[in-house]
Structure 1
Amino acid sequence: MKLLRLGASGAERPAILHTDGTYRDISSVAVDIAGETLTDEGLARIAAAGIDSLPVLPQSSRIGPCVGDVGKFICIGLNYADHAAETGAELPKEPIIFMKATSAIIGPNDDVRIPKNSKKTDWEVELGVVIGKEARYVDEDDAMDHVAGYCVINDLSEREFQIERSGQWVKGKSADTFGPIGPYLVTRDEVDDPQNLPMWLEVDGHRYQDGSTSTMVFGVATLVSHLSQFMSLQPGDIITTGTPPGVGMGQKPEPVYLKEGQTMKLGIEGLGEQTQKTIAWNA
């Protein structure tokens, strides 16, 4: 299933993408794409609802973040071997974990605001993993049972804030609008192998990132298991799993960073695409 949320910010309705391309309202069986809805039982109720009989929602509706009421937005750094190489970093021996503020979350096609005093706003197409079952001290063999599905994420970053301003990476990752997610939460049964998904990102029509989840250092099962050793994971928590090469910081001979008035397009095979325009922080 491809689940999404439609409507104005803060007033989104849960929906499903029909095979005929229409959006169908699932609010009769799900309050939101969040929490209990993401459990196996909640997803089974949606699957059994009879999509053909559900009301059609306008195709012109704004697409909101594909998950509501996100509890934790957990990020993994330097998790692609080829991206680590472009930054000159050593491969991590364990996953590098940091957080992104949930206030950064926006819809997949909403505008991205360049933060005040930003000099180095950068892009990162990433595979998002949405938790569907509480996880504590989970073995790697059982980890995938705790995944509800997957989504596209643009893990936007302000590199000066992240690297040159001391402290942890979180302050370079958490500006408002720095977390577009969606358009869909694609349930795990529709993704045969999350470690073999082509992914890409373009800015103003120029393709900067053209990679695959196959070069991840730590795969989805490893990440879910590893994180569960240090914190419980709850339905609706999101793990964004790292980015392939081609970020602005890694461009040669000089880095390339985002400025106002540009357009980003990005996507992951089978999970959909995003488009964002960059605007001033106070626009």
Structure 2
Amino acid sequence: MRVPSVIGRRAVAVTVASALVVAVVAGVWAYRRHRAGTVDDAAAVWCLAADRRPALVQAARSLGVVRPESTVERLGWPGGGGGAERWRGERPADFARTCRALIGAEQRVPSGGGSSPWSGFTPALLLAVVSAALAAWFSRRSAVAGARRVEAEELRAAARAYRVAVERLLRELEQRRPGVAPDEGEVQDRRLELATRLRAVAAAHRRWPLPRALGETLDREPLGAGLAARWTARPPQERSGWAAETRGALGRLEAEVAQVAEVMQEPGLFRTRTSAGRR
């Protein structure tokens, strides 16, 4: 029976998380670039007010974004000339830079800031929120993965203990002395423990038939209950073949339980207890 592939799931998770971080950083960078070339309407109105136009032109000359001979009535810039409104329309980045510098000089906002004290807050907040969400997601995935590894190892240990108990019983049957009845108590205990763990896995992965089928194997020949009774019921010449068949079934069971355990400890990218379908 085939089990879901788990190869590369951690790599996929890391790739997706990295892509999210890159997308956020790129978004913040693009937002800042956009803000660097614009000012909001309130800042534009403030800078274009009649009583501030001389200061606006002086600031533009100081920054070198207009020609030195520019005046309040007519500004000159590379490739054009005209009033302040036309300059704003044709050279929005230069106007935004000058307006922000003027606002900074007037101490309306910090000189290193944008047109609004909130201009750098929104992308920073977005980056912080996304970073916190990613950190929480990775923390939860790590906790889930740790719990799954423990469950998987307990399942492997249960299968191993069952195999050891059955092997011991088979040796006792093969070396049985007359009048000495073998004790099946340990085999029954180990079978019950393994069956219980397989039922729990089957309940968590309802569309995955392997755990349920393995649990049913424990109730069928040759691994079903009453091993000693079935040994005794067989003719002596058939017992060796039956013991070999039982050991073969035991090895297959342990190998397939190991496959189940491997899938259990890989919870997947965006699920915790959802079903693992057949591939």
The two structures have a TM-score, normalised by structure 2, of 0.18
Which structure shows the higher strand fraction? 1
Bigger radius of gyration, 1 or 2? 2
Answer 1 or 2: which has greater helix percent: 2
